[in-house]
Amino acid sequence: MTIDGTALPSELLVIPQPLIGFCGLDIARQVVHKSIWDAFSGTLQRKPADRERDRAAVQYKLLPPNYDFPVAKPKRVSYEWYHPKGILKRNWMLKHLHVLPSVVVLFQDIEWNDSQWTEKQVQCAAIVQALKNALQERNTRLCLVLLQKSAPLPPGEDMLAAERAASLTTACGITSKMLFILPHTEHLMGYTLRLESAFLDMAQSYYALMSKRIRTHRDQLSAAHTSLKIRHQFKLGFVAEMRQDFSTAQKHYLQAYANLDEIRINDGNCMEIKTVAGFLNYKMCRLMFKLKIPRDSINQFIVHVDKYKSRVGFKDLAFEHHAWLSTQHSIFAELFCEAIKNGLPALQIQHPGIYYQKAAEYVIKRREAAKQASETLLSSSLNPTDASQSQANLYTEFFGIRAVKTGDPVAEQQMNMQLCELERNYNHSAAIIALLSQAMAQFKIYKCLRFRKKLAIDMAEEYLLSGDHAKALTLYSLMLPDYRDEKWSTIFSDVLLKTLRCALLSASVADYVACSIEALSLRHHGEQKERVLLLENLWQVFQSVPPMPQTQLTPELQALWGNALSTVKSPIQIDLDKVRDVLELCATFQQVQLNNHDVLQLHLIVRVLTDVPLRIRNFQVLLADANNPQNSYKLEALKYMCFANLLQLRQSQQAERLELKTYEKNMRLEPGCYYQLLCSTEAHQFNENTQLRIVRLEAHMGTDKIAALLTCSANYTRQPFRHHTRSRDLDDNVTINPICYIAPTFHLSTQTNLGHGVNDAPVSITASGTTISTTTMLVNEYYPVVSTISNPYNVYLQNVGLHISVPVELRNSVFLTTDVSTGRQKLHSQIQIDVGELSAHGSNTATFYIFSLVEADIKLQQRLSYTLDVDRSAAGGSVAAAVSQSTTPNSSETTPEHVKVIGSSLAAISPVQIEYLDETRLRKSREDTLSVKCVADFKFSARFYTLNRRPLTQVYRGENFLLRANTEVLAVDDVEILDSFFICDHNLVQSNYSFKRKKYTNKYRAGDQLESVIVLRTNAALQDWLTARDLERAKSEDGATNKFMSRQQKTASSGNIGDPPPLTATAAAGGFMSKSLMAKIPTSMTIISNSAALQPMSGSMQSDDGKLSLSGAEESAVLPASGQDAPKSMRIIFNKALEAVQATGHHRGFIKGVYTLDAAQSSTIPKFGVFCIRWRRPGVKEENESKFIISGLDIAEPPLNIYCTIEEKMFVKMPMAFKVVLKNPTTHVLHLITTLAISKSDNFICSGHKQLDVSIMAYDEKELVYNLYPLQVGWQELPVLTLEYNTKADPQKNDSQNVLLDELVQRALPKRVFVLVSVEL
Amino acid sequence: MAFCIAVIGKDNAPLYLATSDLERELDLQYHVHAALDVVEEKCLIGKGAPDSKELYLGLLYSTEIHKIYGFVTNSRVKFIVVIDSSNVALRENEVRAIFRNLHMLYTDAVCNPFYIPGEQLFSKKFDRAVQKLMNGST
């Protein structure tokens, strides 16, 4: 049994419900009765909603056959002299809740047509009478339920039933309304519900009557009966609750609570008043929550607590008061929780947790009071044993009243002692912890995490007090990080020291060490002595000795420590990122970038932040590859320097070479000093081309057996605001390089010699390669490049190769080749030169040629690569002392974002690529560019002229015309021109204008000009041009089939002047060849030929290694229609100009193929040939050829061909022949009138037909011969020959055609001659 | 008049804390620390209505002994004042006045060029003025 103050009775806590008693049911033996009972009591299946409602409303009680109803007390006539001993009787609520039913229901098994009806009726009446007797003086309703098997007939039909019912009711002495029939058929539930509501009505009327009776009592009371008034009000409220009339109940309770104030409180009745007040308050609060006025409820509670807080009662029993307060709070908190469960929203500052917390606080106070009380009471002389004998006399039939005569100090004293004794057995800690945990749960719900932390601290404290150190330690160590993060140092110190104490008491080595180290920080305002003590204890633990002077530890604790120290897991990790202010560590690479063969140096700056010196066993730095963080390395600091302040440290960085001391194990680091520790290792142990990142800094502290590992991440962050103190902060004094790039070593160096020239000049060899240029590259030149690849290292390199490629934008205009011997000249876009193996300090050369068609800055991509055997394991083994591959990277590592960013950007810088072929072999390659400037060789232009030196716009078939080729040397260096010639198309016939062969002997320099004039003639119109294929066919076929054609050619060529032998060829469609060729070569063609196997291209027309090219030179942009610039030159590329054509004669042939960048334009224009200049540089054997394609003109069919022959030299007074051959190229007969008009001045004497009618047959020709006798020296006008059609003979011709004829004459006949002085003179 | 006056930085670390009763300082610190829960909650709600320039947060919570009032500046520096619950004479207006004065004192102290934002306030002048404020003799 509990003391009244500490708990509320259960009958108070339940919701009062009307009690209905069932008798006559034998549920143990009769199945039907059992099912009926189940249906009522709710264990049978019902709809949940119904059951909820019904159960809340009513309580059934199964009465045994001979149930003792409580006997009603005799009524008092007058209350005048009645003074009750207490306010509330202990049994009253119980009686009305569970003992005294409002309705008694008698169940009887009687059928209407029962054969033993009369006996049963008598029996039933007897039972009813017995019940009536038992319930004398009570208002309890009695009703009878007949259990019948058959369903009842509708009322009024069953006469027997009506008759027998009437007899039964009279026999039993009850009204017919009190008789119910319950057929136990299938609809049991429905009947049950109907019966239940009937019972409930009766119960309601019973309770209503009861309240009326209580009220009548009340009316008899005088003002002196305060306690009775309270009791009556309480009863009224309780009964109203039974009736489910909550607002009335609340009113009555409030009245009772108000009446309570009228009683004067003294020490004796204090407990009773508080108990009753607590009951009433509980009821009120609950009803107010139920009536949805939570604010009032909370206010009521606060007022209630305020009112009674100061009512302690007996001083010695203060614990009782605190227990009562605690109970009040916890009970209210529960009510609050329940209200929240029913939908009440709570606030952050008003929720059940607050009340739970208060309750816990009061329990703490209760414990203190109890302690105090037991000290004062039990120290007194009385014997405590006999006091504890009779616990029963602590309670009376009234709530809150003890069976002690008031005013008897001895008895009171004794009773108090008894209570104290009881209190001593109470487990306060358990209660406190339970309440606190409930409070914590609530605070968590209402987002009061800091409140909750405080509660957790309280709870830990309670655990510590109760001796459960391990739990206390767990809780404390959970709370530590939060307070640490929020930097509430006062609170944190408090918690930390308590944690340390818990760790000590629970012999938790790891926690003890961690807390000790953290407690060394100056942030915890202790004295230095304490820190020294801490440090001493810490070292004791490191040396496996329990801390504190041995005598201060209990033997059990010593044993615990001994056990813990032997099983401790070393090292104990401590995160210095969290535990600040003890040791400051930061590390920096000395260099941001390192070569593979350099020495990696790392500085670690250490500072002790507390005021006691620390011994650190060693320092280590953990490095990792930025790219693959699983590769991590550990470096140990071996040397150090000590500085008194940062200024010295700064200066030391500028000053070179300071003496380094060796770092010894467990060196003592003095507070305030800056220690610069040096780690170094060879960089080649790390992967090349990676970034090393400082991941973690570690400091070991302790011994071999037990040690603390202080780890610290390397993320050094600079403070946004800081003191500008040069001697205080690292920020301004040290540059922190958190990453270091290990640049790869490239074992090859190159030296490139461009152009023709001596390369014996000494060149300093660098890793990146040097380029020496002697001559400037010219267009159309095979420009030699000599790369000397040398290996200055002491390693053996394999598969050394040089790969050169032309950039995409220069493809098809710049080519590469390795072979310029006359037989095999292949041009490529990229070449690979395999140098093979290079032993240590060996070198080799690779030669290739660049050939360009355009003037440009050529940037060739050059890639040098080699493979190398690496033996990583051997290298790692030699320095194993300094570097150990740590296989398990720590999971706590965090990668700072900014490091990653730098990582990716740095990796892109390196030109060296490293590939791992397998475990032991790797390939390295480096990309370079080789830039060569290519300048123009010649400026070439060509024009066509008529024989009388007029610009030619149209060529007539069979007509001679001139090609004038002008070349200007543009080359910056001197060139020797060996030869220049024109290779004309097979369909053209060329003859030099002057039969002197041009001699090229001189060196030419820029600006020098050359000119050559060539006479050309075509014997076929453009559409009749032969192609190479036609020619081959013509050769193989029999000439007889082409009789007509060959005859025609013979006749045509018989009169030609200075012509090469006539051709036997058939006229065929011209331009076909070039057209088809255009279609077959894609403009974007790239030529990749590393091997000899080339893709076959368009049969015989395309040589496998040659390319013809037409560059978009300025001349070709001008259309022939413009007249003056009619002939066009195009540049072509062919290894040898003669190979570009399929030779059919001396300087004649078919152009094998033309490759041009602007194909569309050139397809319709015939090519008259290739102009070629062979040249070389002075002193160099290799010859180059510059080739230009000459675009042709349209070839028209003339009405007449005129050939004029005149002596090469004329002398005065020397007769000479002026021969004009007229050739009819048409199939018609030509009738012409020729007239020779001698000019008026007498410069010639002329003989011959002055006017002649000539008729020329088809394909025939006519010769007109005149003898001229020059009379004067110098330029003389020749007689003018005019031709016109003989319109009489050939009436089709008219004057307009005469104009054309005249034009032909103008073109063909010379106007003037230069007459020399006679030799004889 | 006030038990405790605290200035708390925007990351909830205390910048300054003065108590009238040194023996109960730890307990008061716990209270002030816990009050930050309510401050955070109130500031969170305040985010919904950015127009409200009201810096005074009012009563944060009260216990039987303490009433804890809060104030938050625009830079999220929080002022917390713990007042004796039993002092019924103290009106809300007076609490507001305390905060106003405190805000002024704080801005003055922070304006010191030698003060590093985010660090604890060690200014003697500020301390004196706050002690005065705490004793109610403004």
What does pLDDT average to in each consecutive run of 10 residues of chain B (138 residues)? 86 88 84 87 66 76 86 89 82 88 92 85 90 76
Within 10 Å of residue A909's Cβ, how many Cβ atoms? 9
Does residue A345 sit within a domain? no
> Structure tokens of A1045?
């054609």
- What pLDDT does A1144 receive? 67
A537 inside domain: yes
DSSP string, A1216-1252: EEEEEEEE--SSS-EEEEEEEE--SS-SEEEES-SEE
Pick from B73, B37, B40: which is nearest to B56 by CA?
B73
Contact B34 A723 (CB under 8 A): no
Question: Is residue A696 located within the same domain as residue A825?
Answer: no
Q: Is residue A759 part of a domain?
A: yes
Q: How confident is the model at residue A1037 (pLDDT cuts 50, 70, 90)?
A: low
Residue A533 reports pLDDT greater than 50:
yes
**Rounded distance, CA A754 to CA A773, Å?**
5
More confident residue, A107 or A647: A107
- Whole-angstrom CA distances from A490 to A701, A1320, B79 are 27, 138, 18
More confident residue, A1130 or B28: B28
Any chain A CB within 8 A of the CB of B26?
A: yes
What's the count of helices (H) and strands (E) in chain A, helices before strands?
A: 31, 54
The answer for A600, left when phi > 0, alpha when psi is -120 to 50, beta otherwise, is beta
Handedness of CA A238, A239, A241, A246 (dihedral sign): negative
CATH code where residue A119 lies? 3.40.50
- Give me the mean pLDDT over the A694-717 stretch: 84
> For residue A997, what pLDDT is reported?
53
On whether any CB of chain A is under 8 Å from the CB of B45, the answer is no
Answer yes or no: do A349 and B36 touch at CB < 8 A: no
CATH number for the domain spanning A1302: value is: 2.60.40.10
Instruction: Select from A447, A490, A721 the Cβ nearest to the Cβ of B25.
Output: A490
pLDDT at position B107? 92
Residue range A920-971, pLDDT digits in tens: 788 888 888 888 888 888 888 888 888 777 788 778 888 888 888 888 888 8
Closest-CA residue of chain A to B7: A488
Most confident stretch, A169-178, A1083-1092, A1146-1155, B25-34 = B25-34
| Residue A612 and residue A564 share a domain | no
Instruction: Look at A147-161, A513-527, A1135-1149, A1216-1230 and tell me which has the smallest mean pLDDT.
Output: A1135-1149
Question: In the predicted model, what is the mean pLDDT of residues A395-414?
Answer: 72
Q: What is the pTM of this model?
A: 0.63
pLDDT reading at A790 higher than 50: yes
H-only helix segments in A568-645: none
Q: Which residues contact A206 (CB under 8 A, 6 or more apart)?
A: A18, A102, A103, A139, A140, A141
Residues A862 and A896 both lie in one domain: no
Let me know whether A770 and A649 are in one domain.
no
More confident residue, A689 or A286: A286
ipTM value: 0.91
Residue A274 binned pLDDT confidence (cut-offs 50, 70, 90): confident
Q: Tell me, yes or no, whether A1155 and A1245 share the same domain.
A: no
| CA–CA distances in Å: residue A424 to residues A369, A458, A1204 | 11, 22, 153
Instruction: Identify which of B11, B41, B61 has the shortest CB distance to residue A447.
Output: B41
- Identify the pLDDT of residue B104: 92
Tokens of A227: 């306690």
Total tally of structural domains belonging to chain A? 6
Same domain (yes/no): A851, A886? no
Per-range mean pLDDT, top range of A403-407, A408-412, A491-495? A491-495
Partner-chain contact B12 A490, CB within 8 Å: no
**A443 φ/ψ angles, rounded to the nearest 5 degrees:** -65, -30
pLDDT digits (tens, 9 = 90+) for A1053-1107: 333 333 333 333 333 333 333 333 333 333 333 333 333 333 333 222 333 333 3
Share of chain A above pLDDT 90, in %: 3
Higher confidence at residue A933 or residue A218? A933
The two counts, helices (H) then strands (E), for chain B are 3, 5
Of the residues A221, A245, A273, the one at which a domain ends: A221
Q: What pLDDT, on a 0 to 100 scale, did the predictor assign at position A669?
A: 85
Shared domain for A902 and A814, answered yes or no, is: no
Residue of A nearest to B33 (CA): A450
User: By the CB < 8 Å criterion, does A490 face chain B?
Assistant: yes
- A475-493: pLDDT as tens digits: 998 888 888 888 888 888 8
Confidence of residue A44 (pLDDT cuts 50, 70, 90): very low
Domain match, A205 and A101 both? yes
> B30, A454: Cβ pair inside 8 Å?
yes
Separation in Å, CA of A467 to nearest CA in chain B: 23
Across A30-34, A437-441, A995-999, which has the greatest mean pLDDT?
A: A437-441
CA separation (Å) from A219 to A68, A77, A212, A215, A223?
Answer: 31, 12, 11, 6, 11
pLDDT of A881 reads: 33
| A400 inside domain | no
Pair (A628, A707) in one structural domain: yes
Most confident of A100-114, A333-347, A917-931: A333-347
Name every chain A residue with its beta carbon within 8 A of the beta carbon of B119. Answer: 721
Asked if A447 is an interface residue toward chain B (Cβ–Cβ < 8 A), one would say yes
Pick the more confident residue, A397 or A434: A434
On average, the pLDDT of chain A sits at: 75
Kindly state whether residues A514 and A647 are assigned to the same domain: no
Domain end, chosen from A569, A593, A612, is at A569
Give the β-pairing of A141-148 and A955-956: unpaired
What's the gap between Cα A1294 and its chain centre? 91
Helix (H, G, I), strand (E, B) or coil at A968: strand
Structural tokens at position A1074: 């070039």
Cβ neighbours of A539 (radius 10 Å)? 17
Check if B115 contacts A (Cβ < 8 Å). no
pLDDT for residue A1160? 42
Who contacts A671 (Cβ-Cβ below 8 Å, separation ≥6)?
A608, A609, A610, A611, A612, A613, A614
Give the C-alpha separation, A304 to A893, whole Å. Answer: 57
- What is the tens place of the pLDDT at every residue in A568-594? 887 888 888 888 778 888 888 888 888
**Which residues are A799's β-sheet partners?**
none
* Mean pLDDT of all residues in A760-784: 64
Q: Any idea how long chain A is?
A: 1321
Over range A1034-1056, report the average pLDDT: 43
Domain region containing A93: 1-221
Does A128 score more than 80 pLDDT?
A: yes
Domain membership flag for residue A700? yes
Q: Do A1099 and A1128 fall into the same domain?
A: yes
CB-based contact (8 Å) between B116 and chain A? yes
B17 vs A contacts (CB less than 8 Å): 490
A871 pLDDT exceeds 70?
no
pLDDT range class, residue A549, cuts 50, 70, 90: low
B127 to chain A, any CB pair closer than 8 A? The answer is no
| Tokens at A771, concatenated | 């380029």
Q: Provide the pLDDT for residue A1104.
A: 31
Disruptive mutation site among A299, A308, A347, A451 for chain B (greatest number of B CBs within 10 Å): A451
> Side chain identity at A852, as an amino acid letter?
S
Q: Look at residue A1241 in the predicted model and tell me its pLDDT.
A: 63
Tokens of A944: 């066509």
What's the sign of the alpha-carbon dihedral A1032, A1033, A1036, A1041?
Answer: negative
Domains of chain B by start residue, with CATH: 2-134 (3.30.450.70)
Residue A35 lies in a domain: yes
Which chain B residue has the Cα nearest residue A448? B37
- Answer whether residue A440 is part of any domain: no
Contact B1, B67 (CB under 8 A): no
A800 and A848 fall within a common domain? yes
Of A450, A457, A490, the CB nearest to B37: A450
Nearest one of A681, A698, A554, A737 to A619, comparing CA atoms: A698
Domain termination site, one of A511, A543, A569: A569
Q: What is the 3-state secondary structure (H, E, C) of A249-261?
A: HHHHHHHHHHHHC
With a CB cutoff of 8 Å and minimum separation 6, the contacts of A1115 are A940, A941, A942, A1125, A1128, A1129
Residue of B nearest to A457 (CA): B30
Q: What is the pLDDT of residues A48-79, one digit of tens each?
A: 445 455 444 678 888 887 777 777 777 666 66
Contact B59, B44 (CB under 8 A): no
Residue A1288 placed within a domain: yes
Is residue A270 pLDDT above 90, yes or no?
no
- Pair type for strands A667-669 and A614-616: antiparallel
Which residues in chain A touch residue B60, judged by CB atoms under 8 angstroms apart? 349
| Residues of B with Cβ-Cβ distance to A453 under 8 angstroms | 33-34
Instruction: State pLDDT tens for residues A877-901.
Output: 333 333 333 333 343 334 333 333 3
Helix ranges restricted to H, A998-1110: 1028-1036, 1043-1054, 1072-1080
For residue A549, give the nearest of A573, A526, A567, A533 by alpha carbon. Answer: A533
B54 in contact with A at a CB cutoff of 8 Å?
no
Choose the weakest-confidence range: A239-253, A1219-1233, A1240-1254, B101-115.
A1240-1254
Q: What is the pLDDT of residue A823?
A: 57
The residue written with tokens 């190229």 in the block is A1225
